[in-house]
Protein backbone atom coordinates (compact mmCIF):
# COMPACT_ATOMS: atom_id res chain seq x y z
CA UNK A 1 0.00 0.00 0.00
CA UNK A 2 1.23 3.47 -0.84
CA UNK A 3 1.91 6.08 1.79
CA UNK A 4 -1.28 7.19 3.52
CA UNK A 5 -2.50 10.59 2.26
CA UNK A 6 -4.94 12.86 4.08
CA UNK A 7 -7.33 13.19 1.14
CA UNK A 8 -8.94 9.90 -0.01
CA UNK A 9 -9.94 11.51 -3.31
CA UNK A 10 -6.25 11.86 -4.22
CA UNK A 11 -5.69 8.17 -3.57
CA UNK A 12 -8.88 7.32 -5.49
CA UNK A 13 -7.63 9.36 -8.48
CA UNK A 14 -4.24 7.62 -8.41
CA UNK A 15 -5.79 4.16 -8.37
CA UNK A 16 -8.56 5.05 -10.85
CA UNK A 17 -6.09 6.58 -13.33
CA UNK A 18 -3.96 3.44 -13.05
CA UNK A 19 -7.03 1.30 -13.82
CA UNK A 20 -8.11 3.49 -16.75
CA UNK A 21 -4.62 3.15 -18.27
CA UNK A 22 -4.92 -0.64 -17.97
CA UNK A 23 -8.59 -1.30 -18.89
CA UNK A 24 -9.91 0.19 -22.12
CA UNK A 25 -13.40 -1.37 -22.11
CA UNK A 26 -15.71 0.55 -19.71
CA UNK A 27 -13.11 1.27 -17.01
CA UNK A 28 -15.69 3.40 -15.16
CA UNK A 29 -17.89 0.37 -14.36
CA UNK A 30 -18.77 0.08 -10.67
CA UNK A 31 -21.26 -1.88 -8.62
CA UNK A 32 -23.99 0.25 -7.03
CA UNK A 33 -25.88 -1.28 -4.10
CA UNK A 34 -29.11 0.25 -2.80
CA UNK A 35 -31.73 -0.88 -0.30
CA UNK A 36 -35.46 -0.21 -0.18
CA UNK A 37 -37.52 0.65 2.90
CA UNK A 38 -38.23 -3.06 3.52
CA UNK A 39 -34.49 -3.68 3.79
CA UNK A 40 -34.20 -5.58 0.50
CA UNK A 41 -30.75 -4.89 -1.00
CA UNK A 42 -30.22 -4.66 -4.74
CA UNK A 43 -26.95 -4.37 -6.68
CA UNK A 44 -26.17 -3.61 -10.30
CA UNK A 45 -23.30 -2.29 -12.42
CA UNK A 46 -23.46 1.38 -13.47
CA UNK A 47 -20.89 3.79 -14.89
CA UNK A 48 -19.05 6.44 -12.89
CA UNK A 49 -19.42 9.66 -14.88
CA UNK A 50 -17.80 12.23 -12.57
CA UNK A 51 -16.10 12.51 -9.21
CA UNK A 52 -14.58 15.26 -7.11
CA UNK A 53 -14.41 16.24 -3.46
CA UNK A 54 -18.23 16.40 -3.39
CA UNK A 55 -18.66 12.73 -4.28
CA UNK A 56 -19.19 10.18 -7.06
CA UNK A 57 -21.79 10.73 -9.80
CA UNK A 58 -23.81 8.34 -11.98
CA UNK A 59 -26.87 8.94 -14.17
CA UNK A 60 -30.13 7.07 -14.56
CA UNK A 61 -33.87 7.26 -15.11
CA UNK A 62 -35.56 8.69 -12.01
CA UNK A 63 -38.35 6.09 -12.37
CA UNK A 64 -35.92 3.13 -12.30
CA UNK A 65 -35.68 0.47 -9.59
CA UNK A 66 -32.53 2.10 -8.17
CA UNK A 67 -34.21 5.51 -8.12
CA UNK A 68 -37.18 4.11 -6.17
CA UNK A 69 -34.77 2.57 -3.66
CA UNK A 70 -32.91 5.88 -3.28
CA UNK A 71 -36.14 7.79 -2.79
CA UNK A 72 -37.10 5.45 0.06
CA UNK A 73 -33.61 5.09 1.49
CA UNK A 74 -31.07 7.68 0.26
CA UNK A 75 -27.98 5.65 1.12
CA UNK A 76 -25.82 3.57 -1.20
CA UNK A 77 -22.59 1.63 -1.53
CA UNK A 78 -20.22 1.62 -4.49
CA UNK A 79 -17.65 -1.03 -5.25
CA UNK A 80 -14.79 -0.97 -7.73
CA UNK A 81 -13.06 -4.36 -8.09
CA UNK A 82 -9.95 -4.39 -10.25
CA UNK A 83 -8.69 -7.98 -10.04
CA UNK A 84 -5.79 -7.58 -12.51
CA UNK A 85 -4.36 -4.82 -10.28
CA UNK A 86 -5.22 -6.61 -7.04
CA UNK A 87 -7.18 -3.59 -5.86
CA UNK A 88 -10.69 -2.78 -4.69
CA UNK A 89 -12.37 0.39 -3.45
CA UNK A 90 -15.56 0.38 -1.35
CA UNK A 91 -17.55 3.55 -0.76
CA UNK A 92 -20.51 3.96 1.63
CA UNK A 93 -22.47 7.17 1.84
CA UNK A 94 -25.66 9.11 1.45
CA UNK A 95 -27.08 10.11 -1.91
CA UNK A 96 -28.39 13.35 -3.36
CA UNK A 97 -29.61 14.22 -6.84
CA UNK A 98 -27.11 16.05 -9.01
CA UNK A 99 -28.09 19.57 -10.05
CA UNK A 100 -30.12 20.16 -13.21
CA UNK A 101 -27.09 21.99 -14.62
CA UNK A 102 -24.87 18.92 -14.06
CA UNK A 103 -27.48 16.56 -15.53
CA UNK A 104 -28.04 18.81 -18.55
CA UNK A 105 -24.30 19.10 -19.11
CA UNK A 106 -23.73 15.35 -19.11
CA UNK A 107 -26.84 14.65 -21.20
CA UNK A 108 -25.50 16.95 -23.93
CA UNK A 109 -22.35 14.79 -24.22
CA UNK A 110 -24.32 11.61 -24.97
CA UNK A 111 -24.83 10.43 -28.52
CA UNK A 112 -28.13 11.41 -30.12
CA UNK A 113 -29.14 7.74 -30.13
CA UNK A 114 -28.53 7.51 -26.38
CA UNK A 115 -30.48 10.72 -25.83
CA UNK A 116 -33.43 9.27 -27.77
CA UNK A 117 -32.99 6.06 -25.77
CA UNK A 118 -33.39 7.97 -22.51
CA UNK A 119 -36.78 9.27 -23.68
CA UNK A 120 -37.81 5.88 -25.07
CA UNK A 121 -37.06 3.63 -22.12
CA UNK A 122 -39.52 3.21 -19.26
CA UNK A 123 -36.62 1.80 -17.27
CA UNK A 124 -37.38 -1.24 -15.10
CA UNK A 125 -41.03 -1.39 -16.29
CA UNK A 126 -42.54 -4.38 -18.10
CA UNK A 127 -42.50 -4.37 -21.91
CA UNK A 128 -46.04 -5.38 -22.96
CA UNK A 129 -45.39 -6.03 -26.68
CA UNK A 130 -42.22 -7.36 -28.37
CA UNK A 131 -41.77 -4.24 -30.54
CA UNK A 132 -42.92 -1.67 -27.94
CA UNK A 133 -39.43 -0.27 -27.31
CA UNK A 134 -38.62 -0.03 -31.03
CA UNK A 135 -41.90 1.85 -31.59
CA UNK A 136 -41.04 4.30 -28.83
CA UNK A 137 -37.56 4.89 -30.28
CA UNK A 138 -39.13 5.62 -33.66
CA UNK A 139 -41.74 7.91 -32.10
CA UNK A 140 -39.19 10.02 -30.20
CA UNK A 141 -36.78 10.07 -33.16
CA UNK A 142 -39.58 11.64 -35.21
CA UNK A 143 -40.59 13.95 -32.36
CA UNK A 144 -37.11 15.48 -32.10
CA UNK A 145 -36.22 15.35 -35.80
CA UNK A 146 -34.16 18.35 -36.85
CA UNK A 147 -33.70 19.72 -33.33
CA UNK A 148 -31.52 19.08 -30.27
CA UNK A 149 -32.82 16.42 -27.90
CA UNK A 150 -33.53 17.96 -24.46
CA UNK A 151 -32.90 16.03 -21.27
CA UNK A 152 -36.05 14.25 -20.08
CA UNK A 153 -37.35 15.63 -16.77
CA UNK A 154 -37.34 12.05 -15.43
CA UNK A 155 -33.63 11.46 -16.13
CA UNK A 156 -30.54 12.76 -14.37
CA UNK A 157 -27.70 12.24 -11.97
CA UNK A 158 -27.15 11.10 -8.42
CA UNK A 159 -24.14 11.87 -6.26
CA UNK A 160 -22.92 9.42 -3.63
CA UNK A 161 -21.39 11.53 -0.85
CA UNK A 162 -18.96 9.30 1.02
CA UNK A 163 -19.08 8.70 4.73
CA UNK A 164 -16.52 5.88 4.47
CA UNK A 165 -14.03 4.87 1.77
CA UNK A 166 -12.00 1.67 1.98
CA UNK A 167 -8.96 0.95 -0.18
CA UNK A 168 -8.20 -2.78 -0.36
CA UNK A 169 -4.98 -4.17 -1.77
CA UNK A 170 -4.43 -7.86 -2.34
CA UNK A 171 -1.79 -9.53 -0.19
CA UNK A 172 -0.18 -12.96 -0.15
CA UNK A 173 -2.01 -15.72 1.74
CA UNK A 174 -5.13 -13.50 1.94
CA UNK A 175 -3.32 -11.08 4.24
CA UNK A 176 -4.73 -8.09 2.38
CA UNK A 177 -4.09 -4.46 3.26
CA UNK A 178 -7.23 -2.47 4.12
CA UNK A 179 -7.06 1.28 4.58
CA UNK A 180 -10.27 2.96 5.74
CA UNK A 181 -11.11 6.66 5.58
CA UNK A 182 -14.06 7.70 7.74
CA UNK A 183 -15.64 11.14 7.59
CA UNK A 184 -16.01 12.41 11.16
CA UNK A 185 -17.50 15.89 11.43
CA UNK A 186 -16.17 16.88 8.02
CA UNK A 187 -12.63 15.54 8.56
CA UNK A 188 -11.19 12.26 7.35
CA UNK A 189 -9.90 9.81 9.96
CA UNK A 190 -7.77 6.93 8.68
CA UNK A 191 -7.32 3.43 10.03
CA UNK A 192 -5.72 0.22 8.87
CA UNK A 193 -8.00 -2.74 9.60
CA UNK A 194 -7.43 -6.47 9.69
CA UNK A 195 -8.04 -8.42 6.47
| Total Cβ atoms within 10 A of residue 145 | 7
Residues across the chain: 195
| Total Cβ atoms within 10 A of residue 61 | 19
**Which one is catalytic: 110, 112, 151, 174?**
174
174 is catalytic: yes
Point out the residues that are catalytic: 174
Amino acid sequence: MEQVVEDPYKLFKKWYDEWCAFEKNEPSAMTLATCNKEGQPSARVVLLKAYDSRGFVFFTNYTSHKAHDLQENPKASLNFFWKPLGKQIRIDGHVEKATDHESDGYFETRSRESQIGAWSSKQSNIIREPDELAKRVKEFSESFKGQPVPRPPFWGGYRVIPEKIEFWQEGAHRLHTRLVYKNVNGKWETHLIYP
